[in-house]
Structures are given as C-alpha cells and as structure tokens.
Amino acid sequence: MTIYEIITKKKHNVELSTEEINWVVAGFTSGSIPDYQMSALLMAVCFCSLSDRETVDLTMAMARSGDMIKPETGGFNVDKHSTGGVGDKTTLIVAPIAAACGVFVPKMSGRGLGHTGGTIDKLESIPGFSTELPYEKFIENVRKIGLAVAGQTGSLVPADKKIYALRNATATVDSIPLICSSIMSKKLATGADGIVLDVKVGDGAFMKNTADAEKLAEAMVRVGRLAGRKCTAVLTNMEKPLGRAVGNSLEVIEAIEALKGNAPDDLREVSLALAAEMLFTAGKGTSEECFAMSEKAVSSGAALEKLREMIMLQGGDPAVIDDYGLFAQAEHTKEIFAAEDGFITGISCEATGMISLRLGAGRQTKESEIDPTAGIVFDKTVGDKVRKGDRLAVLYTSSDCDFEEISKDFGKVFSYGTKENCPKEKNVIKIIKGY
C-alpha cells in the first residue's frame, strides 16, 4: 500500500481498512509519511468524514502509538475528561468526591494553552505540590487514598501530538472524528475502566451549539463502547464562566470552598452531576443513589479530606485548605464597578478567558510562564440586578502587564438588559450513556 493510494480512497469517500489506518498512523509517527501527505489525508477526512469503525481504528492506532498503561489499583478506575472551558476547576472537586466514595481515580491531566486553564497549572499553584510523579509512586498513591493527579508522560500517544500539531496548522481541527480520536486515544492509553466526558457547550467552548456538542459526545461514547469501556458524556453549559473564579490559585481556592459546601450554584450542579456519573459508571448504585452519595461526601467532609491527603502525598502544604494566605498573593488588584443600572444578561466566556490570559493566568505559547496569582473573581453573575457603581469583580495579577488598559477592557465582558432578557439556561444540558 502507499499513502498516495490511501489519500485517493478517502478523497472519493471509500472506507479505509484497519490495516491501512494502522499503517498510516505508524508511518506518520515514525516520520516515513511526510507532513504534506498527512495534511492531504486529514483534509480528505474533514470533507468525507470517517465511519464509526474507521474512527475506532484510528483512535486505537493512535492510543497504541506509545505506552499503553493499565493502572493496577485493585479496583475500578474511572477517568473524567473535560473538552475545556473558562473557570473549569471540576477535576479538583469531582476526583476527591469519587475517591471518598470508593472509586479509584488515577488522573493524568494537561496544562493550559491559550485562555482555557489546565488542571496541572492549577495544582502547581499549591506550595510544594508536585505533578511530576514516577509511575510507581502515582499508582501507590491511588492504591493508598484512591486518588492521584499528575502530568501526562511524554511517551503517551505520540501520534496525537504530531497529528494535532498538523491539524492546528492546516485548519483541520473541526472534524468530529478527528476530535473524537484525539480525546479518546489519550483516555484509552491511560487504561481507565470507565470514562466520564464533560462536553462543554457555548461561548467559552469549542462546540458553540448543542447539536454539534451532541454529535461529538455521541461519537466519543460510541468509540468508548466499541473499545470495551464504560463511557458517559455529560453536556454542560459554558455560556458564562463556571463558578466565580478564573485563574490558577483562585480556582483552587474556589474548589476547596466547594468541597466545604460553599460552591456557587452552577459549579455545585455540574460537579455533583459529573461525580455522580463517575460513581454510576463504577457500579456504585442508581443515578439517584450516586448523586446522594456525592452530596454526602461533601457534607460529611470526606471529599475535602481526600483532597487534603492528595496534597500531602504529592508534596504540597495541606495547610492551604485552612489558610488561603499560604498561596502566593497578587501584587496588584483592581476592582471593577458597574457602569450602568440593569440586570446582567451575559458574561462573555471568551472575553473573560482572554482577559485572564492578558493578566498572566494562561500561556500564549507552550513556553510562556504562568502567573499563579493572576485571574478574576466575580461578585456578580448572570441574572443579578446591579446599580451603577456596584462592584462586579476584582482583577488580580503579579505580571508585568498593562493593568489599566486591561481593566478598561474588562467592562466589555458584561451585557446588560431587563430581567426578562436574562437567559434561563441549564447548567447540565444532557447526559448520554454508552452502556
């Protein structure tokens, strides 16, 4: 077979065989297939798509391109993956809840790039916390307390790293089979028995509307099922930032507060829904029983104790749970006040994310340094009535940025109108089970 023949087949919408897909992934990963030919094949996929069988084959070939890990924890392992959003600190909440309820959560997470934050960056804002764990230590911690969160190793799914970089440069990102294989190859390579997918929908998400988000969710669930895994997708609202805090240490603090029972309504609802699905996937009971177990893990303090144990085992200072002053503190703060009377009808996720990026909370390139103190804490949210001069939010940074200019631009984040104009959107839109 040749790559020329394979490109021609897919250009004419002919299904590729399992052997052809395996050959392409192996060849591109090794470098024997050049970028320009792989780009042509990816564009053909964008126009002609892939069948379910082709998508599964591509996903498995990518997963097998590097190390395949099977965490020997002695129990049922559940992973949770988010498609990315602004203010999304749910891993820091749901993983301790699931672990407190007897589910093993060996979680490998990534760093943020652009205006969406990464779980690893958030955790590294905790003094002393290490996300670089030898695999043996990672599994030992999971066996001991049911939970560990660490960075992905460089030997996992090398095919995805190469293919994604090429997709990003050739405008072939927005293909559901390619998005699906990218996400699911990493989940399958890390050996989870069950997978819960948090598929974000809206202004701050990759999928801007529910119809496209459902297509992606259903594709990922099908791939998970066909690969022999228990898989569920939860569609959640990202029309506004999740919770009140955006930025690394600020989001950790909000996650701790959530585990103390003080979460904003949207963050509480999404976190409990995801945690309940993790428990349901692990066979802990009915959906209703699993939701109640998740609530109890928070109200009893058991989930907070799991977070404390994880921080301690990964070298961090667990005293931060009781004393937020132990986090690095921002050198500069700026209060933002309402410019007019009215009801807040919208908070732009994308604009919020870009402001947090300019403050230093995100990275514009892989080499950029993160400012762990930078970010935003909102006082008001969508639906709130405000008067001119009411405080809307506080900006934080220790970075060398144009703070005054950023502060002026922040006013564009909010939309105002009448009470009738305020959207009545669900936080949890739909749950798609794959088993």
φ and ψ at residue 433, rounded to 5 degrees: -95, 140
Question: Same structural domain for residues 175 and 275?
Answer: yes
What is the pLDDT, as a whole number, of residue 370? 86
Question: Same structural domain for residues 23 and 150?
Answer: no
73 lies in some domain: no
289 lies in some domain: yes
CA distances from 64 to 26, 113, 134, 156 (A): 9, 25, 21, 9
pLDDT in tens, 249-282: 999 999 999 999 999 999 999 999 999 999 999 9
147 lies in some domain: yes
User: Is the CB of residue 91 less than 8 Å from the CB of residue 310?
Assistant: no
Question: Same structural domain for residues 406 and 299?
Answer: no
Question: Same structural domain for residues 106 and 19?
Answer: no
pLDDT in tens, 380-426: 999 999 999 999 999 999 988 888 889 888 888 999 998 888 888 89
- What is the residue range of 397's domain? 325-421
pLDDT in tens, 197-248: 999 999 888 788 899 999 999 999 998 988 889 999 999 999 999 999 999 9
81 is catalytic: yes
- Reported pTM: 0.90
Question: Same structural domain for residues 149 and 40?
Answer: no
Number of domains in the chain: 3
- Give the Cβ contact number of residue 406 at 10 Å: 17
Given 9, 81, 111, 240, which residue is catalytic?
Answer: 81
Question: Same structural domain for residues 353 and 249?
Answer: no
pLDDT of residue 326 exceeding 70: yes
Q: How far is CA 14 from the centre of its chain?
A: 34
User: Is the CB of residue 434 less than 8 Å from the CB of residue 231?
Assistant: yes
Per DSSP (E only), the strands in 363-413 are 375-378, 385-386, 391-397
> Could you tell me where the DSSP H helices lie in 153-209?
158-169, 176-189
59 lies in some domain: no
Supply the CATH number for residue 12's domain. Answer: 1.20.970.10
Question: Same structural domain for residues 108 and 247?
Answer: yes
Given 9, 107, 122, 167, which residue is catalytic?
Answer: 167
Whose CA is closest to 127, among 249, 27, 18, 223? Answer: 249
Question: Same structural domain for residues 103 and 40?
Answer: no
186 is catalytic: yes
Question: Same structural domain for residues 278 and 253?
Answer: yes
Provide the edge-to-edge strand list for the sheet that holds 342-347. 385-386, 342-347, 414-417
Question: Same structural domain for residues 86 and 134?
Answer: yes
Question: Same structural domain for residues 176 and 288?
Answer: yes
Question: Same structural domain for residues 345 and 272?
Answer: no
167 is catalytic: yes
Q: How far is CA 112 from the centre of its chain?
A: 9
